Structure 1
Amino acid sequence: MDLNLRKAIISNVSGNSASDLEATIVDAIQSGEEKMLPGLGVLFELYWQKADESEKTEVLETLEQAVK
């Protein structure tokens, strides 16, 4: 992913409230548009960088179940 795209996505959501971020995520998922995937990826990356090991384990277990 182009670093400029990552910065643009972060800039677009910087300062958003939790409800704003939720709306962004829900909209991206409901729209089903491929162009939304990079934004979701950047949000996931930001989450992952801040998550502790137990949160990461929980996410991985949830993802494992989701892809079965």
Structure 2
Amino acid sequence: MDLNLRKAVLANVTGNSTDELQNTIMEAINSGEEKMLPGLGVLFEVIWENSNDQEKNELLATLSEGLQ
């Protein structure tokens, strides 16, 4: 992934409220557009990098369960 894309996504959401972040995520998911996937990936990367081991395990369990 191009670092410029990462920076652009982060610049677009930095400082957003939790409601604004939720709206951004829901809009990306509900649109079903492939072009939104890299942005969601950047947001997931932020979550992953800021999670402790227990939170990472919970994320992985949720992901695994959702893929069943």
TM range (shorter): over 0.9
TM-score by length of structure 2 reads 0.97
- Measured in 2, the distance between the counterparts of 1:19 and 1:39 equals 17
**Alignment partner of 1:28 is 2:37:** no
Return the alpha-carbon distance in structure 1 between the equivalents of residues 50 and 59 of structure 2: 13
CA RMSD for the aligned pairs?
Answer: 0.5
- Counterpart of 2:31 in structure 1: which amino acid? S
Structure 1 counterpart of 2:59: 59
TM-score (norm 1): 0.97
Alignment of 1:11-22 (within 5 A): 11-22=11-22
Give me the identity figure in percent: 59
Q: Give the counterpart letter for 1:39 in structure 2.
A: G
Identify which of structures 1 and 2 has the higher relative contact order when contacts are C-alpha pairs closer than 8 Å and 6+ apart. Answer: 2
TM-superposed deviation, 1:17? 0.5
Using the TM superposition, give the Cα deviation of residue 20 of structure 1 relative to its aligned residue in structure 2, in angstroms.
Answer: 0.3
CA displacement at 1:11 relative to structure 2: 0.4
Extract structure 1 runs of 4+ deviating beyond 2 A: none
Structure 2: segments with no counterpart, 5+ residues:
none
The equivalent of 2:5 in structure 1 is 5
Q: Give the residue type in structure 1 aligned to 2:15.
A: G
Residue ranges of structure 1 left out of the alignment (5+ in a row): none
- Between the aligned partners of 2:20 and 2:54, the Cα distance in structure 1 is 26
